[in-house]
Chain A
Amino acid sequence: MLTGENIVQLVSGLLHWAYAQAGISSLAGVIDPIISAVVMFGFIAVFVMFLVWMERKVSAHMQSRIGPNRVGPLGLLQTVADAIKLTIKEDVKPVNRDKVPYFIAPIVAFVATFMGMVVIPFDKGVVVQDLNVGILYIIAITGFTVIAILTAGWSSNNKYALLGGFRSAAQIISYEVSLVLSVVPIIMITGTLSLSGIVEYQKQAGYWFILPQIVAFLIFITSATAEANRAPFDIPEAESELIGGFHTEYSGVKFAMFFLGEYIAVVVSSAVAVTLFLGGWLPLPYLDFLHIPGFVWFLAKLLLVIYLIMAFRWTFPRLRVDQLMDFGWKVLIPISIINILATAVVWFCLYGKGAQ
């Protein structure tokens, strides 16, 4: 049967055979991670390009336009063309910048989000590194985005960029709290921090956590949208107020890195949402007889959640900065704390005696 795990085993078998032929079997422990990291990198690059195309098509559909349709079939290669254009265009560096931070910020923005992808399980066993503290790791590593944005805003030495950077930092750290709090109930139920472990738990329990934890799911999606600086929480780059926000002074590839970072952030948070709340690679109920590989289910759910986040962007107006803070601190955080306590109480009522 074709599953993601089988494919991985097949490929790694082939690789190990190749190592043996080349006489470098002893290095397998080093080369395997390299290959998986490269594969993940390639996947992310292609997937994000697809997402940019998808976002443009989705927005075009919502706005009764056509969207990109010139480069390649259905305009699919439009993003490739854009990427090439951004690479070979002039690199405008404002004179008043701080050289080193200005250069580092886009890299950090990219790294911070990309590193989150490394622990996402696409299927049973299909993961670059299944950390036993997966969730904690993702939360920690994506938190680096704040540093990238603050650095970009500060080093540009531009008023809009600085304002945008501060806004963004305040926004991200505010929503970070509710994001993390919304994950805690899941950990309480499953008792593990490993993403694969959480999916396995959902498989055994026979339900997805979106059912008992719908509140946590909504908080998570909202906070994740805010974390990725996407509309309606896109105040750091609110073009009608702050031009381009923190990336006002960035152009070419450097801008592309922020752009990629934003999209990868969307992918990561959607992937975490799928893993935690929508059963990861598990098939839809009653459809498991179809024998569709798990990673296909995973990608389908992932695209669904991403579509949701895209639909937010093209439907809602933008919140004002103080309303945004109010919403985060006065609404989301209390609700998520109450959610944690409620989960604990309900769990005790249902299973409390057995645990004693």
Chain B
Amino acid sequence: MNLELIQNLLPLALALTLAVAVPAAMMILSALLGPKHDTQTKLSTYECGIQGPAIEGDARHHFNVKFYLIAMCFLVFDVEVVFLFPWAVLFQKMAWGGFFSMVAFLGVLAFGWYYLLKRGAFEWE
């Protein structure tokens, strides 16, 4: 690895270490300092004050959530955006050729967006 890269990343690595260490230290400190009066009720899952076999217990059911689909859309769009960045940096040098290639690219994406829209992928249920 070249030296410049290391010099670039060293402060980041140090900041990262600090940012991990301080909260972790505080959390451990808090666990040591704080009072401990654990009761079963206190440690049970919060269910708006209701305790009972039917309601309590594991929260992880087969839960119908649109999250998966949205996440897939996000992947598509975000990868797209990653392509946009180098294009944007070199945009002025590439001039019209670069512009039209990106228009074509965005056109495909817009079509995909329209398809998703019509298929109701953005309808949160």
Contact = CB atoms under 8 A, between A and B. Distances in A.
B74 A174 contact: yes
Contacts of B60: 154, 157, 162
Interface of B: 7-8, 10-12, 14-16, 18-20, 22-24, 26-27, 29-31, 33-38, 40, 42-48, 57-60, 63, 65-67, 70-71, 73-74, 77-78, 81, 84-85, 88-93, 95-96, 99, 102-103, 106, 109-110, 113, 117, 122-125
Given A87-B33, A110-B19, 16 more contacts: A33-B11, A94-B43, A95-B44, A96-B58, A115-B12, A128-B15, A136-B85, A156-B59, A160-B46, A161-B59, A166-B63, A170-B124, A249-B45, A330-B122, A340-B106, A351-B92
B46 A111 contact: no
Contacts of B66: 170, 325
A267 to B, nearest CB: 14
A132 B28 CA distance: 37
B70 to A, nearest CB: 5
Majority secondary structure of chain A interface residues (helix, strand, loop or mixed): helix
A99 to B, nearest CB: 12
A341 B77 contact: no
A337 B88 contact: no
A177 B59 contact: no
Contact of B113 (A41, A333, A341): A333
A291 B89 CA distance: 33
A141 B19 CA distance: 13
Nearest to A173: B74
A176 B73 CA distance: 12
B12 A118 contact: yes
A155 to B, nearest CB: 10
Contact of B59 (A36, A159, A169): A159
A193 B71 CA distance: 26
A115 B67 CA distance: 27
B19 A111 contact: yes
Contacts of B34: 87-91, 252
Interface stretch (A50-58, A179-187, A208-216): A179-187
B45 A158 contact: yes
Contacts of B44: 94-96
* Interface magnitude class on chain A: 35 or more
Majority secondary structure of chain B interface residues (helix, strand, loop or mixed): helix
Contacts of B106: 337, 340-341
A325 B124 contact: yes
Shortest Cβ-Cβ A-B pairs, 7 listed:
A33-B11, A322-B124, A187-B88, A173-B74, A253-B30, A37-B15, A129-B11
Given A157-B45, A184-B85, A87 B95 contact: no
Given A93-B43, A191-B91, A243-B48, A254 B96 contact: no
A92 B89 contact: no
A38 interface: yes
Contact of A173 (B8, B35, B70, B95): B70
B74 A176 contact: yes
A40 interface: yes
A163 B105 CA distance: 36
A142 to B, nearest CB: 13
B30 A91 contact: yes
Contacts of A311: none
Contact of B89 (A180, A192, A249): A192
A296 interface: no
B71 A173 contact: yes
A40 B15 contact: yes
Contacts of A38: 18
B96 A352 contact: yes
Interface in A301-356: 321-322, 324-326, 329-330, 333-334, 337, 340-341, 344, 347-348, 351-352, 355-356
